[in-house]
Structure 1
Amino acid sequence: MAKHNVKTTWLLAFGIVIGIVLYVVVSKGTTNRNVDEIAAVDDTNPSAFAIETVVSGLNVPVAGAFTPDGRLLVTEKIGTVRVIKNGVLLSTPLIVLNDVNVYADHGLLGIAIDPDFEKNGYIYLSYTYENNPDDFGGPKTGRIIRLTTHGDTVDPDSKIILVGSVGGDAGHPSCNDFPAGTDCIPSDAGSHSVGGLRFGPDGKLYASLADGSRFDIVDPHALDTFDTQILAGKILRINTDGTGPADNPFYNGDPHANQSKVYAYGFRNPFRLNFNPLNNQMYIGDVGWYDTEEINLGVPGGNYGWPCREGREAQPNYDCVTENYVDPLYTIPNEHTATSTFALIGGTFSGAAYPMPYQNNYFFGVFGRDTVKRVVFDKDNNVISHVENFLVGTDGPVDFFTGPDGSVYFISIIAGEVRRITYNTNRPPNVVLDATPQTGSTPLEVSFSSSGTTDPQGYSTVYNWDFGDGSEISHETHPQHIFVADGTYTVILSVSNDRGASDEAKTTIIVGDVPVSMGTGSSPQLISTTISPHEVYAADLVTISATVTNRAESDPILIDIEIHDDVNGGEHLAQQYYDNVVIDSHKQQTFDLGWIAPQPGRYRVSIGLYDANWAHLKEWIDNALTFTVHSRSPE
């Protein structure tokens, strides 16, 4: 049974399939000075950096962008654009696209805001186009579109296809079914589709496109990255109407021609890109195959070598040679294993929210590892310093971007959250609460533990335990407590440091008889729990559906759906709860939890039915469903 303050959580192994992008940070004011020298004269406290949640409850979020008025727009893989306004996730989406394919790593993957948004309301989206719903995992194509917003809504009739107007159909699902030069974005396999969107300092829209080919075998179509008439493995540079600017490196006189839109080529999966504010140059995170992850400096007309090259070496599995290629600016060895992925996620540059040595740093991440990395470049793109494992707590980073406050923000696809890197010299303690047992008959003696609780700055702390039963507050670190009456108790551990910062954690103790199995005849009652798809592989998007019936009065209830690791100690992995739900008498309703399976293993679904606001547990089904996640090859 999870703590009630656990928010909606989604777990996924995105990089197992897509081989995505990583986190990096660069520093302003370090052009002519070594970072260690700056640190020696600066009072920056590295421990004052932390990752905090901006908003949670997103359904497999993938990309984000700020509007000039401070709203944050976030794309969800399924085709939804959500609005975060004044720190609150609005319940009504900005728009829901109904032509998005979400198989494997496909989905609504990129978003950008027009530089003249305040005048025209334009937003730009890139996604995998569903051209044949009857063949969900078959060959697909990609699209880049423009929409016009009005407040927190979109005019659906404003949709304009900028790139990818030829989407294919059931008879011709692949770009390979059309001649070279067709306005078609390849997306034949379950990964390597469209990617990021960013406006450059020149006011042009830049779009990253993967090679559209198989990730697990040597695929001859990977060589299409070298053909400027085919929109595979490219960085595009286009006008806001989708045409190619006349100063593009391969412009042929026709602004609608594919090659007129190409800025650079020879990429595998350049999932994310961004611009260095020190020199306005483009940094591209290109996901490697089995050897090397790359950060590339985008130059007009550049050939980045894939599939003949990976990193700074020839790719041995492809028997090909390319000339006049551009070597990466920065590389990282690929450290994937049989059960974990490793994919660099291109990052962003920090602003004035941090002390001077940490401004204009490049922060990036690796999907499959839980750390943020920081790289410091100078204005000539030379690496001054890099820091491994700068921060921990990414939970599947898939997009990095800089906020109007100058902070680095990123999308955690696993947790379903937008997060931010903050700097605060008096951070509250990190509070960890554990209790054993959490249920039992009266009298119930419970051992509480605060093991793992720390203060980031090392300040002294005070513990306050409120057991929720009217007893005295305890100041011990690991108290014992006896509950003498039946009931459901919320136990709160509050920890404060000597500088006045505090935080708390909660858990629930249930004393007395508790309904713990299905078929009790109680109301409301869980009548079924199902999973889709039935055969689950790592990185698959899974939907857990719990159907609840009500045979009594229509009082508000709470439905709690949880996923646990059924092998490694029952670790809590994901949760979705629905509060203040009213089910009409003698009716039933289904509630879903969306989750991306992180790795092979066996998992358990638990369901809890409560009165609204967690007031009283009506029924707890510890083992409502078990399922197995099978392995798949890394991409």
Structure 2
Amino acid sequence: MDASLRKAAMALGLCLSIGMASAQSLPAGFNLDNRLSNRNAPTGVYFAHDGRVFVTEKGGTIYVYQNLLDPAPQLLVDLSSQVHDFWDRGLLGFALDPRFPEQPYVYVQYAYNGGLFPASDPTPWAPRWPSTDCPSPPGSTSSGGGCVISGRISRLTVTGNTAADEQVLIEDWYQQYPSHSIGTILFGPDGYLYAGGGDGASFNWGDYGQTGNATWPDQRSPLNAANPNSQATNHGGSLRSQGLEVESQYVGQQVWLNGSIIRINPADGSHAPGNPLATAGLSENAKRIVAYGLRNPFRFTVRPNTGEIWVGDVGDTAWEEINRIPAVPTDGSATLLNFGWPCYEGRGHHGNFIGPICTALYSGGDTGGRTPQTQPWYTYQHVGSSDTTGLAFYEGSSYPAQYHNSLFAADNSRQIIFNIPFVDANGDGVPDAPPDSSASAFFGGSLATAVQLISGPGGDLFYPNINTGKVSRLWYCGGGCTNQAPSAAIALDATSSADGVPRTIGFSAANSVDPNSGDTLGYDWDLDGDGNFGDASGATASRVYGAPGSYRVAVRVSDGAGASDVQSMLVTVREAVADLGVVFDDGVTSARPGDTLHYVLTVTNQGPDAVFGAVVATTLSTQLTGITWICTPAGGASCGGSGSGSGDVADSADLPANGSVTYAITATVVAAANAPIDSDASVAAPSGTSDPNPADNQASDIDALDDTIFADGFDPTGS
């Protein structure tokens, strides 16, 4: 097979011969829709609640479709200059912020084509490709070769349909060979980001680091020069997946992230609270890890309505695995899981690894202080070549009942999609595993070549075919019908804000689409999260939210022919937070009867939120008369009413963050003044807005009354 075909057909660990599944038709009533096509080696498809669809390409580009019917997608971002695209390497992971687009962030995971610099060493430990220090072809199978790279996780900010401002969160995988690279990133229901990475080792031999790269060596777990072929003294290669067990032996006592699933804070990449080792006196990488001992956890998913992570681990020569990671509890009692690679493949020992790390695991109850192996939930034996390249639970209701809550699994090498029905015989809420290698084939053949499975609009399964450049949708319509369900979309009205209460928030479903031309769409809304879609109808809707809280807002879009789709978004209504302040002064310290005073009152909002209807008031001294004022806004603020008045100021101002209003107040000291001139000014946040620093919301100005007594007839001006 030539290099160009290998890149396409074998791009994701399919470096052995492909075992072809026999041709198999879709089950009765199922159909394929390949509306999204003409992509270059697509690796993933992702859906936003506003109807937009994102497709990643292995070479480093990401495209955005306005909806599933958009014929002209736009380029979201081109990261190709930073992505190393070879075999398993490329842009393979993508995730939308759970509040996207209200929180305008997307996350990417890719094989980084660039030199990496340890904090303590200005010399990079990985070169930039192409490099004279890297073999050509770049270390696919050569002993002692391999061009070392790391995976990278970054956050990008999306404005409109363009992503920019890359913020790198993590670069900490040592991957020598171009198989078993990175793969999936996704958000759990707990709001934390999960990511995986493979061992980066050779698949041609039992790799424990004995073929280390002399030019770009592993600086944390270097090859033991005195015993380069001893598993007793080396733990590189595939054994990096067990590195957590010997972290104290790593230079700097910082393990790599190879062969693990991590759970991190999406803001900065730090470990998430509640992780199994979060409070241990270990490295930051150790604190990030929730499971390890994996070979190539290329694709994993979250089981709906749980925090469980289900991992497909691509095996070596014998077994594929599906592993279950329970939800991380909130009480700090999470259990660290070790799935055993490379000591185990499937449920049995791997014969190539007999060093002390593995013998401790093989010994059963006596693990030498190491985390014992957790057996896989399900395994299946290789037929020719195999690799688990997609997992998804069916979340919809349009498929026949036998598929509800079931698990679908894709094997790209065998060109087949399996189905494992949901069975819970003991009622513990956890699916019962079927006997190993017993999962039934749902669909096979060249059209079933999938490098991802994901639940999309209507709960239907979608998957990208890296060979054909198409994204396929598996939809069901029994009885020979041809009606396909619409795709619902929901977005905030452009003028809506969820800050401040009470607050009127508008919603739009205008980006909903139907693949059947001529269908007229209907819209029904659940605006309060009670499951009743009778709150409003029409393509737009609004509601007044009078109390802070989180509300699940949903729209049901129907096509008039019996098919519908539901899309929802979470709206968190909170009190607006605004740091208001006043400065009030007339520029003098004393005055006499008949003097004219000129006060300047400036009201500011230092944010972070805008304030609508801030109450501005003065209580000027009774020693003053003829009071007038004029208000001047700045920074997008606005004054209330006509912007001027007489007497004390009693105004209502709208203040965006960093906006201000200034009142120029003029008053005259009365002739009979007989006391200091004491005046006050204040600003108060309206109901539904809190001020974290109320101490500067009031100010006073006190002028002494000049009590100089002049003789009758004396003119102090000298005129």
So what's the TM-score if we normalise by structure 1? 0.56
The one-letter code matched in structure 2 to 1:217 is W
CA, structure 1 residues 21+126, in 2 after alignment: closer, same or farther (shift >3 Å)?
A: farther
Q: Please tell me whether Structure 1 or Structure 2 has the larger radius of gyration of its CA atoms.
A: 2
DSSP 3-state at the match of 2:102: helix
**Aligned match of 2:518:** none
CA contact (8 A) 1:15 1:342 kept: no
CA separation of 1:205/1:186 partners in 2, compared to 1, >3 Å: closer, same or farther?
same
Q: Distance in 1 between matches of 2:28 and 2:64?
A: 32
Report the counterpart of residue 497 of structure 1 in structure 2. none
Task: Pick from 142, 156, 178 the counterpart of residue 190 of structure 1.
Answer: 178
CA distance in 2, matches of 1:65, 1:20: 30
CA distance in 1, matches of 2:17, 2:59: 18
Which one of the candidate residues 100, 108, 115 is aligned to 2:91?
108
| 84, 95, 111: which one aligns with 2:77 | 95
Letter in 2 for 1:61: P
1:381 aligns with 2:431: yes
Instruction: Give, in whole Å, the separation in 2 of the partners of 1:327 and 1:119.
Output: 41
What letter is aligned with 1:185? W
Distance 1:278 1:21 in 2: 36
Q: Matched residue of 2:336: which SS?
A: coil
- Mark the runs of 5 or more structure 1 residues left unpaired by the alignment: 1-9, 23-44, 165-183, 430-635
C-alpha separation between the residues in 1 aligned to 2:155 and 2:279?
A: 24
Change (3 A) 1:358 1:21: farther
2:170 corresponds to: 163
The C-alpha deviation readout for 1:71-126, integer Å capped at 9, x for no partner, is 12111011001112222253431000020001222100111111121321111110
Paired residue total: 374
Cα contact 1:237–1:261 (8 A) shared by 2:
yes
Which of these residues, 350, 374, 380, is aligned with residue 326 of structure 1? 374
Q: Distance in 2 between matches of 1:11 and 1:102?
A: 11
Equivalent residue, structure 2, for 1:584: none
Counterpart among 257, 262, 278 of residue 231 in structure 1: 257
| Partner SS for 1:383 | coil
> In the TM superposition, what are the counterparts of 1:139-158 in structure 2 within 5 Å?
139-154=148-163, 156=164, 158=165
What CA deviation, in whole Å up to 9, does each residue of 1:155-205 have, x standing for no partner? x2x2111111xxxxxxxxxxxxxxxxxxx2122111111110111111111
Match for residue 335 of structure 1 among 361, 380, 383: 383
After TM superposition, the structure 1 = structure 2 runs for residues 253-292 of structure 1, keeping only pairs within 5 Å, are 257-277=284-304, 279-292=306-319
Identity of paired residues, percent? Answer: 32
Give yes or no for contact 1:99–1:129 (8 Å, CA) kept in 2: yes
In structure 1, the partner of 2:247 is none
SS of equivalent residue, structure 1 residue 397: coil
Residue aligned with 1:214, SS = coil
Matches within 5 A, 1:383-402: 383=433, 387-393=439-445, 394-402=447-455
8 Å CA contact retained: 2:14, 2:413: no
List per-residue Cα deviations over 1:517-551 (Å, max 9, x = no partner): xxxxxxxxxxxxxxxxxxxxxxxxxxxxxxxxxxx
Within 5 Å, which residues of 2 pair with 1:325-474?
A: 325-336=373-384, 341-352=385-396, 353-377=398-422, 378=424, 379-383=429-433, 387-393=439-445, 394-427=447-480
With CA pairs under 8 Å and 6+ residues apart, which has the higher RCO, 1 or 2? 1
- 2:44 match: secondary structure: strand
* Contact persistence 2:13–2:179 (CA under 8 A): no
Q: Cα deviation per residue 1:123-161 (whole Å; 9 max; x = unaligned)?
A: 11100011212236222111011111112111x2x2111
| Residue 114 of structure 2 corresponds to residue 62 of structure 1 | no
Distance change (3 Å), C-alpha of 1:384 and 1:96: same
Structure 1 equivalent of residue 109 of structure 2: 126
Paired with 1:149 and 1:253, the residues of 2 have a C-alpha distance of: 36
- TM-score of the superposed pair, with normalisation by structure 2: 0.49
Partner of 1:13 in structure 2?
10
- Output one character per residue of 1:471-511: Cα deviation in whole Å (capped at 9) or x when no partner: xxxxxxxxxxxxxxxxxxxxxxxxxxxxxxxxxxxxxxxxx
Match of 2:520 in 1: none
Question: Post-superposition shift, 1:64?
Answer: 2.1
Secondary structure of 1:405's counterpart equals: helix
2: CA distance between counterparts of 1:253 and 1:116? 32
| CA deviation string 1:597-621 (max 9, x = no partner) | xxxxxxxxxxxxxxxxxxxxxxxxx
SS in 1 for 2:35: strand
State the distance in 1 between where 2:185 and 2:262 align. 10
| 2:188 matched residue in structure 1 | 200
Cα contact 1:82–1:95 (8 A) shared by 2: yes
| Map of 1:210 onto structure 2 | 198
Question: Could you tell me how far apart the structure 2 residues matched to 1:89 and 1:327 are?
Answer: 46
- CA spacing shift, 1:107–1:335, aligned 2, 3 Å: same
2:340 to 283, 305, 320: 305
CA distance in structure 2 between the partners assigned to 1:243 and 1:18 by the alignment: 34
Cα distance in 2, alignment partners of residues 364 and 290 from structure 1:
19
Shift of 1:255: 10
Instruction: Give 1:16 shift.
Output: 5.0
Equivalent residue letter for 2:380: I
Question: Where does 1:234-249 land on structure 2 (aligned, <5 Å)?
Answer: 234-241=260-267, 242-249=269-276
Distance 1:20 1:95, change over 3 A: farther
Which amino acid in structure 1 is aligned with residue 112 of structure 2? Answer: Y
CA distance 1:83–1:254, shift in 2 (3 Å):
farther
Q: C-alpha distance in 2, partners of 1:406/1:315? A: 39
Structure 1 residues 467-506: aligned runs within 5 Å: none
CA distance in 2, matches of 1:21, 1:75: 24
**Aligned pair in 2 of structure 1 residues 256, 96: CA closer, same or farther (>3 Å)?**
farther
1:315 lines up with 2:350 in the alignment = yes
Cα distance in 2 for residues equivalent to 1:427 and 1:18: 40
1:310 shift after superposition: 0.3
Mapped to 2, the partners of 1:347 and 1:408 lie a distance apart of 10
Q: Match for 1:12: what amino acid?
A: A
Distance in structure 1 (CA, Å) of the matches to 2:197 and 2:412: 19
- Give the counterpart letter for 2:200 in structure 1: G
Q: Deviations over 1:558-613 (max 9, x none)?
A: xxxxxxxxxxxxxxxxxxxxxxxxxxxxxxxxxxxxxxxxxxxxxxxxxxxxxxxx
Aligned to 2:638: none
Q: Aligned-pair RMSD on alpha carbons?
A: 2.7
In the alignment, residue 308 of structure 1 is paired with which amino acid?
C
Matched residue SS, 2:337: coil
Unaligned runs of 5+ in 2: 1-6, 20-25, 115-127, 139-146, 209-236, 245-254, 327-334, 362-366, 483-719
Q: Measure, in 2, the Cα distance between the counterparts of 1:269 and 1:20.
A: 18
